[in-house]
Structure 1
Amino acid sequence: MSESVRNAASDAGDHPVVRTGARVGYAASGVLHLLIGWIALRLAWGGGSGSADQSGALAELGSTPVGAVLLWVVTAGFVLLGLWQITELVGADEAKDKVKSLGKAVMYLVLAGTALRIAAGGSSGGGDAQTSSLTGTLMAQPFGRVLVAVVGAVVIGVGIHHVVKGARAKFLEDLRANPGRWITRAGRLGYIAKGIALALVGVFFVVAAVQADPEEAQGLDGALRSVLELPLGSVLLTVVALGIVLYGVYSFGRARYAKV
């Protein structure tokens, strides 16, 4: 890649609008995780409704008195955070950094699309239904079950990475300054809880591949609901839900201290 392209990407990433927008995006992620955790807590104790995933959280946000305005802010934040990740992708030297930035860019832009659809009055779509549909599409391809198993293994790997990142507080490397004791503690527990939830999602993909049944694949909502089927399921889901809330708290600290 030419040096001029790298310089252009660096200039774009350093633009005040993109940098500020990226911080808004991290704050939007905080709001999202607070809502997911809240929905999961209600689920744990049999109250309320909603889907404990990103789509459900955005739909719940849209149902608040100021939801329409907040959804547009969230959309803008995720778009700019996705664009910032693209500038990081272009400027990265190592392949693993490029893959990580690409994955994050896609994730944030997809979230922006979901928020935009809800803000415009559309449906949030069912996260688990979309997951099963995607799994069915993959299985229809040559070596489809292998592809689904690989997806599951990758998601499990990402979950384990989150757990390790939380346990070792390696998330502090993403920040330009130490955010303080309480944000650090929230980050530790939040990353571990989110990692456990992601690993569960990955396990369901592997099970779907083994059983050749796309319906076995579950998104975040389905994975969290599966915790209720375990002994002391309500207690376990409460712990995970509170951890997701803490990840949201950490995300607000990241919005302030992130290296952007």
Structure 2
Amino acid sequence: MEHTLSTGHPATPDLARMRREYDAAEPHRPAVREEPLVEEYLAGDWPTQFGRWFAEAVAAGLPEPNAMIVSTAAPDGRPSSRTVLLKGYDERGFVFFTNYGSRKGREALANPYASLLFPWFPMGRQVVVCGRIAPVDRHVSEEYFHQRPRGAQLGAWASEQSAVLPGRQALDEAYARAEQSFPADTEVPLPDHWGGLRVEPETVEFWQGRRSRLHDRLRFRRTGEPGADRWIVERLAP
């Protein structure tokens, strides 16, 4: 039997007909320097190209331009995704911080591969990163942890991230206990279960929307071992 696409509810918009044309002149699109995503305009390395696009996303006023979707997988291959904030990047990769006991932390340590997605939809751009994931050195986590607001530091002690809670009260009580353990005149130490993870890219894809779904996709791909810094650029079909 042939089935048609259904929204599941009569009041829901027709999803099959929802689409936008990616055009530099479309209304409400942030005003940025719009160069074609072609090989001759691409930076010579992915960190420079990412920095260029990230700076333009910030200048365009995108909300939380450092927000990225992090996807990991359990040892049996079951994937999971969530949004976190990028807190640093360089030629070694992209760094974010989390509770190592969270689902993403456990999966990253057990199955050390991850994917990142920067969804800069208002600009018609995406960046997709795939590679290995590993904890950063503890001194890096220490430095960042002590830059966080005190409330966020206490929250790292209070929240057993991804654990099932009986209710909101349990979390509030755990936070109150953290406040008692670390009075206002004392430093909040870095928990052993909390720190940074770095995604070391094997591929970094830059995606820019184009009319008729003929999008531009240029991908930097590592061809040697990690640390060899041998990269090629490939154009992918949209």
The TM-score, its normalising length taken from structure 2, stands at: 0.27
The TM-score, its normalising length taken from structure 1, stands at: 0.25
Q: Which has the larger radius of gyration?
A: 2
Structure with higher RCO (Cα < 8 A, 6+ apart): 1
